[in-house]
């Protein structure tokens, strides 16, 4: 923890941060929306209610927001409550992404459903512009009834997707096998809600029922505890500053976070056994040749 600098994320302090530093809005110190994010489209579809933010989807528009900064490694969390009742056809996403054609991306995508049927949580990982790594699971709770935390923990060794701190997916660094791992592009943090009734619900068979609009996703308690990279900074400088290699250690590079703990391994096995409904790694109809990283997936 020695090298973390606590930064109150006001505009003034943002301007003072001249290079990558640790933006510390850690456990117990969640931030309000405005400190870390700004709307990226459809400002009139944002509803602010104290510490709560609501994004609205109706037949005119969805809405989305983005982080003010980019980050390289760390942990990003939002508490989200998904669309109640009929959410068929809608998708709410919370994700990290870098820019450009060879971008990297880590996605949580919540696929809505008709009233009483379960939401699906789809995750995906893009490396150098290529995705197609979808996994889908149903959750062990109703994500429309209350707030739950959704986190991405990213370090040099793995990308971990967590739901209420339970790992649901791990994307492991397998560079020693010649498989590229996302670790040199700073990423923004994003969320949006939109109409995706061509594919989202029951394979696109169920369409959005606009008479049930507006569809509302709610957010609170944002936490970003990550290495912040103000733009413009050359990628190579970001990598240098956000790596633990030159006499400083970021907490996410602790050896204990380089792989799952035994407890987390058990949790992940439980999630996969009880809740996984789709895994690209086992989709032999889609992939004639099993994707290279799949051999190493923990089951």
Task: Tell me how far, at minimum, the Cβ of 60 lies from ligand NAG, in Å.
Answer: 6
Q: Which of 152, 126, 158 is nearest to 253 (CA)?
A: 158
**Which residues are catalytically annotated?**
105, 109
Q: How far is the CB of 123 from ligand NAG (least distance, A)?
A: 14
Select from 59, 132, 261, 296 the one that contacts ligand NAG (CB under 6 A). Answer: 59
CA 174 to chain centre: 21
CA 26, 32, 36, 42 torsion-angle sign: positive
Residues 94-123 touching ligand NAG, rule: CB under 6 A, are: 111, 113, 117-118, 120
Quote the least distance from Cβ 282 to ligand NAG, whole Å.
Answer: 17
DSSP per residue over 189-247, as a string?
A: EEEEEEE-TTTSSGGGTSPP-GGGPPEEEEEEEEEEEEEEEPSS--HHHHHHHHSTTSS
Residue list 209-248, contact with ligand NAG (CB under 6 A): 210-211
Of the pair 38, 145, the CB lying nearest ligand NAG is at 145
Tokens of 213: 């609009």
Count of residues in the chain: 299
Is 7 or 206 the residue whose CB approaches ligand NAG more closely? 206
The residue at minimum Cβ distance from ligand NAG is: 117
- Residues 178-207 within binding reach of ligand NAG (CB under 6 A): 201-202
- Quote the CA–CA distance of 281 and 297 in Å, as a whole number: 9
Complex with ligand NAG: residue 49 or 211, whichever CB lies closer: 211
Nearest to ligand NAG of 36, 120 (CB atom): 120
What is d(CA 221, CA 224) in angstroms, rounded to the nearest whole number? Answer: 10
SS3 134: coil
CB of 233 to ligand NAG, least distance (A): 39
* Interface positions with ligand NAG (CB under 6 A): 59, 111, 113, 117-118, 120, 201-202, 210-211
């Amino acid at each position: 923890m020695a090298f973390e600098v606590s930064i109150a994320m006001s505009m003034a302090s943002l301007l003072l941060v001249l290079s990558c530093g640790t933006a510390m809005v850690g456990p117990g110190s969640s931030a309000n929306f405005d400190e870390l994010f700004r709307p990226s489209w459809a400002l009139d579809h944002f509803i602010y209610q104290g510490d709560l933010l609501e994004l609205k989807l109706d037949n005119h528009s969805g809405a989305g927001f983005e982080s003010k900064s980019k980050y390289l490694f760390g942990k990003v969390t939002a508490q989200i409550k998904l669309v109640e009742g009929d959410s068929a056809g809608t998708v709410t996403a919370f994700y990290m992404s870098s820019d450009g054609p060879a971008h990297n991306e880590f996605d949580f995508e919540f696929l809505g459903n008709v009233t009483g049927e379960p939401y699906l949580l789809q995750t995906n990982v893009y490396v150098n512009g290529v995705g197609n790594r979808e996994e889908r699971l149903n959750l062990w709770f109703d994500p429309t009834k209350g707030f739950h935390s959704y986190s991405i923990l990213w370090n040099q060794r793995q990308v971990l997707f967590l739901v209420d701190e339970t790992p649901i997916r791990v994307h492991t660094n397998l560079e020693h096998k010649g498989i590229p791992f996302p670790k040199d592009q700073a990423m923004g943090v994003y969320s949006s809600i939109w109409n995706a009734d061509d594919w989202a619900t029951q394979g696109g068979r169920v369409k959005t029922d606009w008479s049930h609009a507006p569809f509302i996703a709610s957010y609170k308690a944002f936490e970003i505890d990550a290495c912040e990279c103000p733009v413009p900074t050359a990628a190579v400088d970001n990598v240098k500053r956000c790596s633990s290699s030159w006499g400083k250690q970021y907490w996410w590079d602790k050896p204990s976070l380089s792989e799952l703990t035994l407890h987390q391994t058990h949790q992940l096995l439980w999630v996969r056994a009880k809740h996984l409904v789709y895994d690209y790694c086992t989709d032999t109809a889609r992939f004639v040749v099993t994707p290279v990283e799949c051999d190493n997936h923990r089951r």
